[in-house]
Amino acid sequence: MKRLDDFRLQLGKHELVPIMVGGMGVDISTSMLALEAARLGGIGHISDAMVPTVSDRRYDTSYVKTKLKQYKLNVANSDKSSVKFDLGLLAEATKKHVDHAMAAKRGDGLIFINCMEKLTMNAPKETLRVRLASAMEAGIDGITLAAGLHLGSFALIEDHPRFRDVKLGIIVSSLRALQLFIKKIARTNRLPDYIVIEGPLAGGHLGFGMDWAQYDLATIFIEIRDWLAEQHLNIPLIPAGGIFTGSDATGFLTQGAAAVQVATRFTVTNECGLPDKVKQEYFKASEEDIVVNTISPTGYPMRMLKSSPAIGDGIRPNCEAYGYLLDAKGSCDYIDAYNREVVLHPDAKKIRVWDKTCLCTQMRNFDCWTCGHKTYRLKDTSHLLPNGDYQLLSAEHVFNDYLHSTDHQIKQPALAEKTPA
């Protein structure tokens, strides 16, 4: 019986273990998690979501404070069009984040950065170009273009010295999206090095509408695999979303996938950036606790735990400090939703906003508990301890279980000798 370890991912000159740990922001897929994946011979992701904010937390910088000080007189103003990111500081923060990971890399694996197009930052093209270029200049092994169609992203960096050297991949959720992307980048004479096919059971933002349940990853994978074959395009395919066991992964590789992207099971590892108390929420979740809603200002549906503090919270927009989702006109759907509720409840000390959330602040505070559909199965991967919590896992344990398991079995870790008080 085949195991995932019987396969290898050939990505250019690199022969890799066929496991890609997906990018999770904000600072959920930490450099520590990415480094473990690379050390074990696979691919790990760091995320470029809100990098200045992450840098302040991790490296004792003050990018957020500096930006807030510059725009503090605009806090009470609903018009955020004047709130801009300093491109030089954005480049500095991105390089610092990537440098930190690449300097510590060990093993034969690779470290990629997940780059979200929907982080429009009140200057979509300018800020995206800086983020991509800075990551390449800092030596990142690869860039995964996520959260958007990225129809113009290749053009933004085609004059960069590393454009044909760095590994560039795209996340798509349909054949149509891939076809649009391939057509748009044709003039750059450069194809993606890999394609992540993300199905409807993935965590966080989805590339589907609220009819997501009508789709399935296996069907989308086959459609894309067969179309690429018809076009004589040999691009590694990496399915993602709902791949919970090594057997799930092996099933895709026997059908022609080059690797799999996985993330949910790594959210409850020591290396993951979520606070431990939030990891316990993931462990304890039932299937009924997981919802797909439209509270993200990006316009994409999101999957999360319905107990997320972000749902219904009416926090004042903090674009002067953050502002990562401001569009090219300085607008954000949450600002509109918040202002509507303020008008409707002028005497309220605290308002509630149910249809949208301030995603920047909530993700920064780890209060928007995005998750994969199979999060409810996490409790089966560990031990329930006497204090009512579940034992956290190591990334190495989860990685190796994917590699070696058969018959959809999940190996639990050795029981910790000492349990938390």
- List the end-to-end C-alpha distance of the chain, in Å, as a whole number: 42
Q: What is the DSSP string of 128-146?
A: HHHHHHHHHHTT-SEEEEE
Model confidence at 1, in pLDDT bands (50, 70, 90)? confident
- For residue 265, the domain's CATH number is 3.20.20.70
340-381: per-residue pLDDT in tens? 999 999 999 999 999 999 999 999 999 999 999 999 999 999
Q: Is residue 240 part of a domain?
A: yes
Q: Is residue 71 part of a domain?
A: yes
Mean pLDDT for the stretch of residues 327-332? 96
Domain membership of residue 180 as a residue range: 4-274+391-404
Task: Give pLDDT, residue 417.
Answer: 72
Percent of the chain with pLDDT over 70: 99
* Cα(60)–Cα(315) distance, integer angstroms: 26
Residues of 393-413 as b/e, b for ≥16 C-beta within 10 angstroms? bebebbbbbbbebeeeebeee
Mean pLDDT for the stretch of residues 97-118? 97
199-238: per-residue pLDDT in tens? 999 999 999 999 999 999 999 999 999 999 999 999 999 9
Does residue 421 have a pLDDT over 60? no
* Cα(295)–Cα(310) distance, integer angstroms: 9
From the centroid of its chain, how far is CA 34? 12
Strand partners, 146: 116
Task: Give pLDDT, residue 418.
Answer: 63
Q: Is residue 281 part of a domain?
A: no
Q: Is residue 65 part of a domain?
A: yes
Q: Is residue 345 part of a domain?
A: no
Q: Is residue 159 part of a domain?
A: yes
Mean pLDDT for the stretch of residues 383-403? 98
Does residue 149 have a pLDDT over 90? no
Q: Within 13 Å of residue 291, how many CA atoms lie on the same side as its CB?
A: 12
Q: Is residue 284 part of a domain?
A: no
Q: Is residue 247 part of a domain?
A: yes
* Cα(49)–Cα(359) distance, integer angstroms: 11
Percent of the chain with pLDDT over 90: 97
Does residue 420 have a pLDDT over 60? no
Task: Give pLDDT, residue 296.
Answer: 98
Mean pLDDT for the stretch of residues 236-256? 98
Model confidence at 157, in pLDDT bands (50, 70, 90)? very high
Model confidence at 416, in pLDDT bands (50, 70, 90)? confident
**How would you classify the pairing of strands 142-146 and 312-313?**
unpaired
Lowest mean pLDDT among 75-79, 169-173, 321-325: 75-79
Average pLDDT, the chain: 96
Task: Give pLDDT, residue 14.
Answer: 97
The total number of structural domains in the chain stands at: 1
57-81: per-residue pLDDT in tens? 999 999 999 999 999 999 999 999 9
Please provide residue 402's backbone torsions phi and psi, each rounded to the nearest 5 degrees. -60, -40
5-33: per-residue pLDDT in tens? 999 999 999 999 999 999 999 999 999 99
Quote the tokens at residue 210.
């609220």
* Cα(59)–Cα(154) distance, integer angstroms: 30
Give the type of residue at 196: V
Closest CA to 194 of 238, 136, 231: 238
Residues of 115-126 as b/e, b for ≥16 C-beta within 10 angstroms? bbbbbbbbbbeb
